[in-house]
Amino acid sequence: MSRVDHAEASSKFIEAKDHAEFHDKRLWDLRKKRDVESEALPEWEELRSLASAIKEHTLTHLADYLEEFERNATTNGMVVHWARDAAEHNQIVFDILQAHDATTLVKSKSMLTDECEMRPFLDNRGIEIVETDLGERIQQLDDEPPSHIVVPAVHKLRGDVAEVFGRTIGTDPKNSDVPYLAESQRNHTRPYYLRAQAGMTGANFAIAETGSFVVCTNEGNADLGANLPNLHIASIGIEKLLPKVEHLGVFVRMLSRSALGSPITQITSHFRAPRPGTEMHVVLVDNGRSERLGMEDFWYSLKCIRCGACMNTCPVYRRSGGLSYGSTYSGPIGVIIDPTFNLRKYSSLPFASTLNGSCTSVCPVKINIHEQIYKWRQIIAERHQLPMVKKEAMRVAGKILSSPRMYRAAVEAAAAGIEKLPRFLVYNPFNAWGRQREVPASPPSTFRQWYLKNRGKRE
Amino acid sequence: MKVALFVPCYVDAFFPEVGVATLELLERFGCEVDFPLDQTCCGQPMANSGCQSDAHDTEALFARNFAAYEHIVTPSGSCAHHVRDQMTAIEQTAAVRAVRRNTHELVEFLHDVLGVREFPWAEFPHKVGLHIGCATLRGLREASASEIREPAFNKPARLLGAVKGLQFVQPQRADECCGFGGTFSVFEEPVSAKMGHDKVADHLEAGAEYIVSPDMSCVMHQRGCAQRAGLPLKFIHVAQVLNGARA
């Protein structure tokens, strides 16, 4: 599998100037709204600490809480399935659908099903799937993955949406009026709710003590999908567990404030039992999570509640777009999760960061994201997954910088303008510095030379 | 007080005036400043690339060069952050731990260790945008970050606030990263340059004549962007302003 080239992809993203500017501004706007909402809660930092502690407690007692959830959910009348990996998940979902002669599935937003690549799997088996979240639907119709875990089509301008809808659901491609586009999509999607034999949701939280799960949405689509058909399937990652309902208060207060800068999502639905005469199935999915839980430096990433705040604040994400990461999870959280799925393929992603740490500071569950990015770089280097040019540059830099004599020769040459930058910086394809930036002017001497001339007598 | 001066490689090569200002400023406050002549680098470029084994000898050399000092001061936040928080490629002997603990960025040394607040010789009659590098801001915590809900504090601004005539202007995105990021600046050149150009434009729009910073690597990048774009912005290190530079 070829490596994702984030730098190359970001270059293309930036070339589309209007799109790039809009993307950066739109997401920065979400970050600012998040600041305003969090400022309104004097206990914000306390909530972050609580949320982190609850998640760490749950993750370190996960097996117990999962079994408690299963017992209580089963008592409530749900059917609980366990999926070791993506393949098992997809097969379980397909088997449930087949057993109910279901051929049409209305589906609300779920990053987990994207992670499992469920849609192509079911497509190939004759299941018609309709994404009902507006952003996800736009992406489905355009045959693109979501570029953001909360706002999946944020990289598109409304003109792009008009083009996609014009091509796929017959709207006027020249009409990019937002209410027109949104209403057209609703009108197009509504009949599917009535026709579908099954509805699917993800879950934001699953509660062990009640055997219930919670879905937070803004469009009402998840509730239509869950309540109109007689079969509701929920795909839930095993890290979504919380011990008790009372813990929910901490997370519900932070989720939408962090994500969109709104106090709460429009709809917070608690699913506890199937309606009479219908079925409710829960698929608990591992897909690498247990393995991640065993990784000393990286298990904290499982605390993630998928709010996207780290993406909104990330200056690199905002300027390169989610698709440039070439993976289900993009932005800072993606950078630390993706290598657990495929180290080689995603080996460039931990370098798509300036290590500025803003992600860590906004994270509502206090994941040390930028420290994990730093740590991944070491693992990528240790496992020989660095590009040859970087590896060689660092080897040479390490040699020069550990030798006072070689260092002085290099720095004096640089200062004298023989080379415009220290050799470790210019080593190879790095005329990159000068593409959009001037190089520093050559000073009259190095600091060391000045020192020897002016203060040398003290030595 | 005896102090060892660490001048990072890029300051040594391109911005000797920043090293000179740091040295003179420390001397103004009565420090006896040593400049160990065999110093090179702190190891950050290799370590930030994940190359711990390539960073090993450079970190070991740093620890040897500065082992004799109780105070090690450098005009670079990211280098101080590396030494204090990330210099782990070498064995953590008692001597290494002491060198790490004793290393300070200039502003925090002035603010926290010397406890100085007055710079009577300093005057800088200009509109100034303050740029605090991310390692200085969120690593060394020299100022409160905009993401965290806590009482505001800002050590570089507090010191610069004592400079006659200096007037701060506020960019829209006060603590957004400028995109330097060490080797990021060349390996992720498209995003790095975009961030840099956005940053200097934000400062210019706020009315800044000068960008003043404790982080010369960020400045090297931002100045390169501003010069390429032909923007009327000037750049200067905190040490130079505090030492009395007028322009």
The domain tally of chain B equals: 2
Asked whether residue B141 is domain-assigned, the answer is: yes
Q: How confident is the model at residue A346 (pLDDT cuts 50, 70, 90)?
A: very high
Positive/negative CA dihedral, B136, B142, B143, B148: positive
Task: Give yes or no: residues B101 and B180 share one domain.
Answer: no
Q: What angle do CA A404, A408, A409 make, to 5 degrees?
A: 120
Picking from B188, B195, B200, B237 by the largest number of A CB atoms within 10 A of its own CB, the best residue to mutate is B188
Q: Do A352 and B10 touch (CB under 8 A)?
A: no
B120 domain residue, yes or no: no
Q: Give the confidence band of B196 by pLDDT, cuts at 50, 70, 90.
A: very high
Whole-angstrom distance, CA of residue A359 vs CA of residue A113: 25
Q: Give A432's pLDDT tier (boundaries 50, 70, 90).
A: confident
Q: Are residues B19 and B89 in the same domain?
A: yes
Tell whether B182 is covered by a domain.
yes
Residue % of chain A over a pLDDT of 90: 92
Nearest by CB to residue B221, choosing from A45, A394, A437, is A437
Mean pLDDT, all residues of chain A = 95
Residues B146 and B236 in one domain: yes
Query: What sign results for the dihedral spanned by CA atoms A252, A254, A255, A260?
Result: positive
Looking at residue A424, its pLDDT comes to 52
- At B34, give phi and psi (nearest 5°): -100, 145
Residue A425 has pLDDT above 60, yes or no: no
Inside any domain, residue B16: yes
Residues B103 and B149 in one domain: no
Closest CA to B131 of B111, B160, B109: B160
**Band of pLDDT at residue A422, cut at 50, 70 and 90:** low
The answer to whether residues B212 and B238 belong to one domain is yes
Name the pairing type of β-strands A205-207 and A212-217.
antiparallel
Contact A398/B146, CB-based, under 8 Å?
no
Domain boundary residue, one of B84, B114, B144: B114
Question: Do residue B105 and residue B150 come from a single domain?
Answer: no
Is the confidence at residue A445, as pLDDT, over 70?
A: yes
Same domain (yes/no): B133, B109: no
- pLDDT grade for A419, boundaries at 50, 70 and 90: low
Torsion angle, CA of A451/A455/A457/B1, rounded to 10 degrees?
-120
Task: Identify whether B247 is part of a domain.
Answer: no
CATH number at residue B213: 3.40.50
Q: At residue A459, does pLDDT exceed 50?
A: no
Instruction: Centre a 10 Å sphere on the Cβ of residue A75 and count the other Cβ atoms it contains.
Output: 10
Domain membership flag for residue B17? yes
Asked whether the predicted pLDDT for residue A343 surpasses 70, the reply is: yes
Q: How far apart are CA A346 and CA A342, in angstroms?
A: 6
The predicted structure's pLDDT at residue A428:
44
Return the number of CB contacts < 8 Å for A and B.
237
Tell me if B188 and A10 make a contact (CB, 8 A cut-off): yes
Alpha helix ranges (H) inside A132-275: 134-141, 158-168, 178-195, 221-227, 245-259
Last residue of a domain, one of B114, B148, B167: B114
**Res A423 pLDDT > 70:** no
Q: How far off is chain A from B49, nearest CA to CA, in Å?
A: 6
Q: What is the DSSP letter of B76?
A: B
> Do B67 and B31 reside in the same domain of the chain?
yes
A430 touching B (Cβ < 8 Å)? yes
Answer whether A110's CB lies under 8 Å from A206's CB: no
**A338 against A423, higher pLDDT:** A338
The per-residue pLDDT for A421 is 52
Residue B24 belongs to domain spanning: 2-114
Q: What is the pTM of this model?
A: 0.96
Residues B104 and B162 in one domain: no
**In terms of domains, do B87 and B138 share one?**
no
Domains and CATH numbers, chain A: 1-40+296-386 (1.10.1060), 46-287 (3.40.50.10420), 393-458 (no CATH)
Tell me, yes or no, whether B47 lies in a domain: yes
| β-strands B127-130, B72-74 pairing | unpaired
Chain B contacts of A415, Cβ < 8 Å? 12-14, 16
Residues B176 and B229 occupy one common structural domain? yes
What is the mean pLDDT of the segment spanning A338-342? 96
Q: How confident is the model over A18-46, as pLDDT tens digits?
A: 999 999 999 999 999 999 999 999 999 99
Residue A427 has a pLDDT of 42
Query: Where among B85, B114, B143 does a domain terminate?
Result: B114
In this prediction, residue A414 carries a pLDDT of: 79
Digit-coded pLDDT (tens) for B80-132: 999 999 999 999 999 999 999 999 999 999 999 999 999 999 999 999 999 99
Q: Is residue B122 part of a domain?
A: no
A-chain residues near B139 (CB < 8 A): 357
Among A122-136, A182-196, A409-423, B25-39, the least confident range:
A409-423
Alpha helices, DSSP H, located in A215-284:
221-227, 245-259
CA distance A146 to A345: 19
Predicted confidence band of residue A441 (pLDDT cuts 50, 70, 90): confident
| Residues B91 and B172 reside in one and the same domain | no
> If you average pLDDT over residues B43-69, what whole number do you get?
98
pLDDT, residue A295, reads 97
Confirm or reject contact between A405 and chain B (CB < 8 A): no
